[in-house]
Structure 1
């Protein structure tokens, strides 16, 4: 007969029989997975909004609704909306909670998609709709990683945090598939409104995070939530006490906190990861995938984007499965090297074909290979991990404010990159633009190797103690 033992450090049951352990853990984590699955409908909407411009802009351009300059603005203005969505949500989740913050995201999503679908080609309404969906995207990019981190166990936080990026890639692929199916920009927008509508209904039945409940002195509610998330067979009192102890040691949040190493160190790490993520060129690549492949000599750019989107989903799932085994730093390093090499080879393709356009057909394999390697590499590390680390390394009292700052920086960089992409292609040439992105990726690798600590397998309280200097450095 199997002997089951409780491991207090991990919060998991251990069994002599591996099959018994797996079966018990599935039962224990079922409600945790359900709550996470509902929450990631937000990043699914996020990804769909990012992918929307790739099929929609060519459709609107063909109909004479947008010119090239207006298309660039339409593609980039989503980041402008997201710049404001993050800070507003940072305030909102501290005031009314993570759950309500997630539910609120649905409103600007739905309003934005309706504005686009009912615009009748009026440019101002199209931009308004895009800004609203961007605002919702900024909200999602802050609240969902925080929600997932605060409901997860240390052993599952990497997996569930990476599911955020999995959902984003699935949303992007869905937009690509709808475009490949021939849907026009109106029907694409209407489909976009369905996902957040479903999220707000289902999220109403999900729990608030235990850390937020305890921060509001609602201990009984927190114990009920922990029992729901961890399973009825788990004694959650120890976890509750650990969270309470951490909260009791915290002072009221003030601006002077940003002068303390316990906050400015994790904040600088998170900000730099966000800068490197965006200036790697990922959003420019995703927003203009159809144009990039058309320039590279593919007759059916929509089909090429579907292939890229599918590759991105597959390898983001692989990254999620290995997140808690390989660790954050190793995946960031491997991914950064892959992105550096692929950006350089994509630039090499443009260099080799600049004098003879006919060569683009013969060397199209190089552009496709470079793009796929780039997407694989980004999916393995730089897609999910900056958001995951953002949700892990800030102290609880500052998580909303600091995450809002990181989100603001991320989307500010995204706006700059997407708005200037076409101008960079003209000023630096196609090859020079991708070589610039490759250089940024290389600097990102160096930064991770020197500055980013490993957080896998650590509770949020242990990570906070590390930056406060209360834990030995060799623990990370």
Structure 2
């Protein structure tokens, strides 16, 4: 049947306004693009990853260090303050103020992150981290402690928004998955370093000051590195900079292989063509364009992965980890920090598995397999806590196996790949605000789960709580199967071309 005049006209308009999209779509299923064929200068590529990844390491370090810092701060023997007698509410605020700051940072990234650019936003994160470290470590009062913790959280919000986008936009397509996933590994390394710092200074007077103060060095490295690295060429084009400026920064990002200016100019031209088409459709509808047409599906993918990452039971499972290991005879209550370190190493190993396979197996298979296994683990924990006596060896060992299965499956799927997808699925014209909304979803749902989880567990019981999480796991699995495409090996422009069919 011939197409209607209206459809034919709209199709022709799209072809004229986006002449390169059809070629990108064709090349994504056929020959590799110039960017994919470009040799990799591993030295500069490593730096393009390493310095932004310090933002994730500092996020993880805060999680690990705070676990020991609060214990140190509240002890009359080790606090070194006159205000160590903190109420449960004050202790909770000291911990959660960082998360509230991260929420505020994500909101700030949504409001003006696109004006700042990836590089300057990471510099702002480094400044927040550094100043907050000094404020917190020197805190002479509880309000100063809260101010430092909140400012540190602002740094987390800015860093976790800008780092995935910067890495995705500046590194070669065929190692993009490896590098963004490895950033999650840096978060886990940060958690481990925080645990180790806690165990080192837990018995020292004022030890909490050292635990927090040690984050100053990576904050300085983050700032110094981002001062030296180039700005994202894709953001430069989006901000209205010339193709010449974008080409110069792209050449720097490719190191010794950026000397072939002709090849780089060709790639920058493709970036510019894609950006112009994407931006023109977004500017017509403003903010509402995020929720329409070609932008809706990637936004749904990013926000749903961030949501499911937080509401599939991770806080509940890890909360009872030490208790499960105690019952199995692996540790006494006094060895809780050792259990945390051991579990942290296991998380790191499983994250490493995802990092090594994400560009060979693909994002979608790892997500589907990992979420399936963590759902099975949640169902097993539910069954154990519902049908078996808590003291029985069968219940104890089943819980240990289910716990390890859950942690391993999570770290090989939701842990790294959710942030990876946030870094690569959004169209360039809306990447900044869309990534900020995804970050807000992550930190907001994290805060809400942490807030209501004790009440839910008290009301429903542990078995029913795990059953609810298993049900959410099934919903997330169905969602991933239906809306998440495979993006392995595609340039950001080729990924953006996938959304044209949603118009």
TM-score scaled by structure 2?
Answer: 0.82
Show the counterpart of 1:454: 486
1:143 and 2:171 matched: no
- 5+ long unaligned stretches in structure 1: 1-6, 15-24, 472-476
* Cα distance, 1:470 vs structure 2: 8.3
Seen in structure 2, the aligned counterparts of structure 1 residues 8 and 263 have a Cα distance that, compared at 3 Å, is: closer
Matches within 5 A, 1:46-61: 46-61=59-74
Would you say the 8 A contact 2:389–2:395 is kept in 1?
no
Seen in structure 2, the aligned counterparts of structure 1 residues 276 and 94 have a Cα distance that, compared at 3 Å, is: same
Would you say the 8 A contact 2:137–2:209 is kept in 1?
yes
Show the counterpart of 2:496: 464
Would you say the 8 A contact 2:61–2:187 is kept in 1?
yes
Q: Give the CA RMSD over aligned residues.
A: 2.7
Would you say the 8 A contact 2:117–2:235 is kept in 1?
yes
* Cα distance, 1:259 vs structure 2: 4.4
Of 177, 193, 212, 1:189 maps to 212
Show the counterpart of 1:76: 96
Distance 2:74 2:388 in 1: 27
Seen in structure 2, the aligned counterparts of structure 1 residues 321 and 445 have a Cα distance that, compared at 3 Å, is: same
Show the counterpart of 1:432: 464
1:87 and 2:116 matched: no
Identify the range of structure 1 (196-205 vs 211-220) with the bigger mean alpha-carbon deviation: 211-220
Would you say the 8 A contact 1:180–1:306 is kept in 2?
no
Would you say the 8 A contact 2:64–2:191 is kept in 1?
yes
* Cα distance, 1:174 vs structure 2: 0.9
- 5+ long unaligned stretches in structure 2: 1-30, 77-83
Of 52, 61, 67, 1:39 maps to 52
Show the counterpart of 2:275: 247
1:173 and 2:201 matched: no
Distance 2:175 2:117 in 1: 22
Seen in structure 2, the aligned counterparts of structure 1 residues 54 and 244 have a Cα distance that, compared at 3 Å, is: same
1:101 and 2:129 matched: no
1:219 and 2:211 matched: no
1:208 and 2:231 matched: yes
Distance 1:65 1:247 in 2: 56
Between structure 1 and structure 2, the one with the greater Rg is 2
Seen in structure 2, the aligned counterparts of structure 1 residues 118 and 97 have a Cα distance that, compared at 3 Å, is: same
1:182-214 CA-partner distances (Å, limit 9, x unpaired): 443221111123221221012111110111122
Distance 2:345 2:489 in 1: 30
SS in 2 for 1:136: helix
Identify the range of structure 1 (35-44 vs 246-255) with the bigger mean alpha-carbon deviation: 246-255
Would you say the 8 A contact 2:55–2:222 is kept in 1?
yes
Would you say the 8 A contact 2:36–2:173 is kept in 1?
no
1:261-308 CA-partner distances (Å, limit 9, x unpaired): 211221122111111011023356567866776688741111111011
* Cα distance, 1:462 vs structure 2: 1.6
Seen in structure 2, the aligned counterparts of structure 1 residues 346 and 443 have a Cα distance that, compared at 3 Å, is: same
Distance 1:115 1:292 in 2: 37
Identify the range of structure 1 (338-347 vs 241-250) with the bigger mean alpha-carbon deviation: 338-347
1:413-440 CA-partner distances (Å, limit 9, x unpaired): 0101112233333223333333332322
1:114 and 2:134 matched: yes
1:304 and 2:339 matched: yes
Show the counterpart of 1:4: none
* Cα distance, 1:309 vs structure 2: 0.7
Identify the range of structure 1 (144-153 vs 128-137) with the bigger mean alpha-carbon deviation: 128-137
Would you say the 8 A contact 1:61–1:68 is kept in 2?
no
Distance 2:489 2:47 in 1: 22
Show the counterpart of 1:335: 370
Show the counterpart of 1:316: 351
TM-score scaled by structure 1?
Answer: 0.86
Show the counterpart of 1:412: 444
